[in-house]
Amino acid sequence: MAKRAFITGITGQDGSYLVELLLEKGYEVHGIVRRQSSTIRPRLDAVMSRKDLPLDKLHLHYGDLGDGGGLVRLVGKVQPDEVYNLAAQSHVRVSFDAPEYTVDVVATGAMRLLEAIRDVGIQPRYYQASSSEMYGLVQQIPQTETTPFHPRSPYACAKVFAHWATVNYRESYGMHGSNGILFNHESPRRGETFVTRKITLAAARIKLGQQKRLALGNLEARRDWGYAKEYVEAMWRMLQQAEGDDYVVATGETHSIRECLDVAFGAVGLNWHDHVDVDPKYYRPAEVDLLIGDPGKAKKKLGWEPATKFRGLIELMVEADERLLRDQLSGKPIWSY
C-alpha cells in the first residue's frame, strides 16, 4: 500500500519539488491550498504539466494554518503517514512589516498542526521546516545543529518557536518529529521578490531589453545558497530514519550578494555595476551578515550532500529565466521551470 503524505505550503517552491519527489516514489500526496479567486498556481502547474507522473495520486484540499478545526478535520480525513509543514510567510523583510501575521502562520500555525495530529490520535512522521535565519547574529562559524539561536527578524523568531515546539512534542509525546534547518535554497521556482531570483530575472530582462535598472539593499550580506530541488530529498530522508532528529541542510560555502551579481550578470555578458543601484529601503532593521552551515550530520546520518554549488545554481537560474522570458515573447505556454 502506498504511503500517504500531507504537505502544507504545497504551492511554494519547496512544496512543488517535494510533490514531484514523492509522486516519483509512489506516494499518495495530499496538500492544503488557501481559497483564492484565482486557481493559477505556477509551481504546481509545472508539476501538473509532467505526463510522466501519476497525477491521479495528487489531491488538493482547501485549508489554512490559521484554522485549527479545519486542520483537525483534514488530518483525520487524510490519515497521513508523513506530514511536511512547509507553509510560511517566508519573506524575511516582509516579516518586519507584517509581524503578527507572520508569527500566526509560522509559529502558531505549526502549533495548530502539531495539535491537530495529536487530537486525531495518529502517529505520522512529522517534518518542520526550520531556517538558518534562526541563527541571526551568529554565535559560531560554521553553524551546526547545536549552535545557539539569535533570531534577528519576526520571521526568525517565529521559526525558533516552531522548531522548539517540534522538539517539545518529540520529547513530550514521543512524536517522530524532525527539524530541517535549511540554509538558503533557491531555484527557478523561487519567488521573484527573493534576492537571488530578483537578480537572475533582472539579468535576463536587462539582457533582453525588458528592464534597465535593478535596486537592491545590502550587497555585503553573505549566505549559504543551495538548490531547492536537492534539499527536498534531505527532508524526505529525515522521515525515513528510525527516530526524529534535527539536521542542518547546507552546502558549507558562503557567498555575498556581490558574488551573486557577478555570476548572474556575467552569465549574460553584462557588468552588473552598470545596472544596479543600492536603495536603503531594502535594508532590514536588523541585518543578518553571514550564514554558513555545516552539513556534516546530514551527510553522515542521511547520506545526503549537495550536488549543485553556488555558481552552477545561479547560472541554472539565469538560463531558466532567459528561457521563461523568451517563451513569454513567443507566446508559448509558460511553466515555472
Residue with C-alpha cell 517539545?
Answer: 168
Q: Which entry of 84, 126, 155, 227 is annotated as an active-site residue?
A: 155
Q: Which entry of 28, 82, 133, 186 is annotated as an active-site residue?
A: 133
Q: Which entry of 131, 132, 153, 336 is annotated as an active-site residue?
A: 131
| HEC letters along 151-178 | CCCHHHHHHHHHHHHHHHHHHHHCCEEE
Has 155 been annotated as catalytic? yes
For the annotated catalytic residues, the residue numbers are 131, 133, 155
